[in-house]
Amino acid sequence: GAVVSQHPSRVICKSGTSVKIECRSLDFQATTMFWYRQFPKQSLMLMATSNEGSKATYEQGVEKDKFLINHASLTLSTLTVTSAHPEDSSFYICSAPLRGRGANYGYTFGSGTRLTVV
Amino acid sequence: AQRVTQPEKLLSVFKGAPVELKCNYSYSGSPELFWYVQYSRQRLQLLLRHISRESIKGFTADLNKGETSFHLKKPFAQEEDSAMYYCALRSHNQGGKLIFGQGTELSVKP
């Protein structure tokens, strides 16, 4: 089935540095990628929607200069957390909608990236 | 406003007992609803969607537009059902993004 490969699975970085998270669609083209943030045993909060070849759409309250999203190709979307701070520590998940019908309808999720800023 | 509400943060039952995870939604239009499950240390995966009217792993969910609900049910819970369950609503006019409920942790005890 359609899979989104997300890397890294976990990263520890120093405060003030930047971290890039990649999501690659395997076996399908992801024209859209949703980026979520999840706190332990809590809901997924949508941060932004990236579209291939155009600017990302950010949800209210999400700093676009801090969370840079790039969707340069149909198979790759990246989220860069710039000048990371401890409060940015979280679990980040990407998700791509699946077009079509039957088993291919819906969304596929990356395995997530655990970011810890120290 | 588009919203999904899962009132129970934690639901604890014994093996073999019936389970109902509640989900209510707010959406102006024809809703498209999903249930996702997240087992420990695994990625989110689709459990079922209302348009399919399917039963997966013994779970079913019926869309009740009058009560704006999409509760997830299973007649006999198993220990392997222990996981986080998320109800989600697809927004048609914002790129098809999913709006998630807060999630319910289901714990099935032996």
Nearest to B97 among A49, A93, A105 (CB): A49
- Look at A42 and B46 and tell me if their CB atoms are within 8 Å: no
Provide the pLDDT confidence category of residue B93 given band limits of 50, 70 and 90: low
Mean pLDDT of chain B: 91
Q: What is the mean pLDDT of residues A24-49?
A: 89
CA-based nearest residue in chain B for residue A93: B43
CA distance A85 to chain B (A): 25
Note the pLDDT of residue A98.
82
pLDDT tens-digit readout, A63-110: 999 999 999 899 999 999 999 999 999 999 999 988 765 544 688 999
**Residues of chain A contacting B43 with CB distance shorter than 8 Å:** 93, 109-112
Q: pLDDT band for position A52 (50/70/90)?
A: confident
Six token digits for residue A10: 């976990």
* pLDDT confidence of residue B2: 86
Select from B44, B52, B87, B91 the residue whose CB has the most chain A CBs within 10 Å, as the one to mutate to test that interface. Answer: B44
Q: Which of A31, A60, A107 to mutate to test the interface with B (most CBs of B within 10 A)?
A: A107
Question: Residues B4-50: pLDDT tens digits?
Answer: 999 999 999 999 999 999 999 998 888 889 999 999 888 898 898 88
The CB-based long-range contact list for B44-52 (8 Å cut-off, 24+ gap) reads B44/A44, B44/A93, B44/A95, B44/A109, B44/B86, B45/A109, B46/A106, B46/A107, B47/B72, B47/B85, B49/A105, B49/A106
